[in-house]
Structure 1
């Protein structure tokens, strides 16, 4: 019923060393909601682009999916077999369907941005190496027990935390480790001081070495990375949402980049240094500031009167070579990594909610070829009709969005009993500032998304009045910004195909995966009984009505 759809494909290796290919469809249903559904899970013996393309064709043929006509977008990770420009899966698909635009998963792109940032300079590279050494040191059972004991003494009543290993594929795990390091820094110091006097020489020497690397520069780098991950980690979580649309995802990336850009100034650096000084003083560190190092001076030759050496303090050197360099790297990496996504947005920018709202405010005429690329992408769209519908819809959008949420109560109840009689008391907001009789009122200026516009067109049955506009927004909502849904199925594979189930049949594995991943789909039990009863004559006589 959706007409157009997008595909999300990814592969993983299961417990039996079989390459499993997960096939997810993204589409907009009749009510205007964005759906992502697992369709198939099959083995992929051939991991090349050609082999994946053959598997793609077999799955689409099996489920009667006309991808040559209705596939509008595709999203994968950065593997060469997926996105290769010569023989990758996306290239082979685009040879037969040029309108199937390719989107590199935003979550994977952000992961690569973090990788670029962590290794951009010597200080951060050494910092994460030292943190990794600290995590590995605490993995021993005896050392972990001492760490937990110190936490219980220094932070009574708080939940004990553990330093987990870095993940090579999800670099946002670095942020979680830094958060634990920051929040339990006192317990870590106390644990290392106790283990210095341990009878085991490996433990004693390791603890002594780790205490030496915990300097003021280490603390300042920890706080810098904590502030950066406080921006990138929520962004990574948002980008993995099923219902997020392409424009909304790119707006979130731009908002995070703006926050990182605001950190790149001398005032923010001073705030970070002062925070590091307070943190060091709180934990009774011996170093409360940068350790001044006497600069080496070049010998002046006879007759030389000019001093070439520039005296730069350790703090200024850190600000230039580390603080600004890290922020410059992450900002430039975001610009370069997401450049292909911005190229896609150029053709779709007029459909953004902000442009649609400003259309009514400015009341400017739009160029004749504004929707030329969209009409080429979607053959069923008439560019002139889309332009006319776009202008007409922009004048009524705010009123339509405001009417999406109807009042629960037209009049404020005089007593609690009156409110109870309405059978809506559980949903009524009891806060004084929000007690306006509206359930989650919508602000047309800030909360309009592609999903909101699709709901407006669907709930008011405006598809026939704005057929071209509805199809354009339907296609825009179908474009996936991330392939996280495919990766989420891999977690289910690990839960279902365990070591004791390593020889499970592929058809049974796929059936169990569909049941586990798509729990919200209602099953008709009568049809299940009928299908099961028709599998043999004995079951038919026992289960079927005569």
Structure 2
């Protein structure tokens, strides 16, 4: 099958020097995995664990911190709540129409984005949208509470907590530094040397941010500013 597909796309098997997949055993297995099946016809095609997937796994591991692990599901549940309920989505749209500043900041987006379950590296966009629309989300949930929407009350209680707000602000900032690298690694023109150099650049950015108190002070102040709008006390 591999030979047929490569032939269809005009890729001579004898010139194959590398192959990259995720780390699942059906792909990477050294006995019956895809990489081994391909190497039977192309012995020089060394298997490499797909680096964009490695980056995704690193992000998943990093997001196991309690403050992030509890924040992410709330964002997802709120997005689903608005997306799969016409009543809630209409209420969100009405609130968005009344807030021109948020509407402009959302750059023509009209609803919240759900978090991809597997591609965590794509989550910054969803977190940015949620943070930008936070004011509208809160006002929508408050309106739904007056309409006796019990779940809206639960969501409202979950997001009007300072640990949620500071987790949202910090996680969105950090993942935005990494998302460019993921896109870079998936570029067909990317080679190993340029990939290594780009990784070094991102690592330098992350280390500089980690050791720069001004960065964390700015993130904390952003979280405080967001919380102050709803009398949420910084803790």
Q: 2:120 is paired with a residue of what secondary structure?
A: coil
Does 1:185 find its partner at 2:134?
A: yes
Per the TM alignment, residue 62 of structure 1 is displaced from its structure 2 partner at its CA by 7.7
**2:125 equivalent to 1:161:** no
Equivalent-residue separation in structure 2 for 1:246 and 1:142 (angstroms): 50
1:263 aligned partner = 209
1:251 and 2:200 equivalent?
Answer: no
Does the CA-based 8 Å contact 2:16-2:44 persist in structure 1? yes
* Matched-pair contact (CA < 8 Å) for 2:2–2:38: no
Distance in 1, Cα, partners of 2:10 & 2:134: 58
- Displacement of 1:190 after TM fit? 0.8
Q: After superposition, what is the alpha-carbon deviation per residue over 1:393-449, rounded to whole angstroms, capped at 9, x for unaligned? A: xxxxxxxxxxxxxxxxxxxxxxxxxxxxxxxxxxxxxxxxxxxxxxxxxxxxxxxxx
Contact 2:113–2:129, Cα closer than 8 Å, also in 1: no
2: CA distance, partners of 1:85 / 1:160: 46
Give the structure, 1 or 2, with the largest relative contact order (CA under 8 Å, sep 6 or more).
1
Give the CA deviation at 1:101: 2.0
Counterpart contact for 2:26–2:32, Cα < 8 Å: yes
Is it true that 1:116 corresponds to 2:61 in the alignment? yes
Cα distance change, pair 62–110 in 1 and its aligned pair in 2 (3 A): closer
TM-score, normalization by structure 1: 0.39
Match of 1:70 among 7, 10, 15: 15
CA, structure 1 residues 96+183, in 2 after alignment: closer, same or farther (shift >3 Å)? same
Report what 1:80 is aligned to. 25
Matches of 1:62 and 1:222 in 2, distance apart? Answer: 46
One of 145, 166, 186 as aligned partner of 1:240: 186
Q: 1:160 to 1:62 in 2, by over 3 A?
A: closer
* 2:78 corresponds to 1:134: yes
Counterpart residue number, 1:152? 97
- Do the aligned residues in 2 keep the contact of 1:148 with 1:160 (CA within 8 Å)? no
Q: For 2:155 and 2:10, how far apart are their aligned partners in 1?
A: 61
Partner SS for 1:74: strand
Equivalent position to 1:125, from 60, 64, 69: 69
Question: What are the Cα deviations for residues 367-396 of structure 1, in whole angstroms up to 9, with x where unaligned?
Answer: xxxxxxxxxxxxxxxxxxxxxxxxxxxxxx
Moved over 6 A (4+): 61-65
User: How many Å apart are 1:94 and its aligned residue?
Assistant: 3.6
Against the structure 1 CA distance between its residues 63 and 229, is the aligned structure 2 distance closer, same or farther, given a 3 Å change threshold?
closer
Q: Residue in 2 aligned with 1:277? A: 224
Judged with a 3 Å threshold, the aligned counterparts in structure 2 of structure 1 residues 285 and 60 are, in CA distance, closer, same or farther, namely: closer
Tell whether the 8 Å contact from 1:193 to 1:207 is kept in structure 2 after alignment. Answer: yes
The Cα shift of 1:124 comes to: 1.3
Please say which structure displays the higher CA radius of gyration.
1
> How far off its partner does 1:227 sit?
0.7
Tell me how far 1:184 sits from its aligned partner: 1.0
CA pair 210-95 structure 1, distance change in 2 beyond 3 A: same
Distance in 2 of aligned mates of 1:150 and 1:61: 55
TM-score (norm 2): 0.85
The aligned runs of 1:522-537 (5 Å cut-off) are none
8 Å contact kept, 1:178–1:226:
yes
Q: CA deviation at 1:143?
A: 0.8
Q: Please, what is the CA RMSD of the aligned residues?
A: 2.4
Question: Per residue, is there more helix in 1 or in 2?
Answer: 2
Contact 1:152/1:160 (<8 A) preserved: no
> Mind listing any 5+ residue stretches in structure 1 that lack a counterpart?
1-54, 291-546
Contact 1:75/1:105 (8 A) holds in 2:
yes
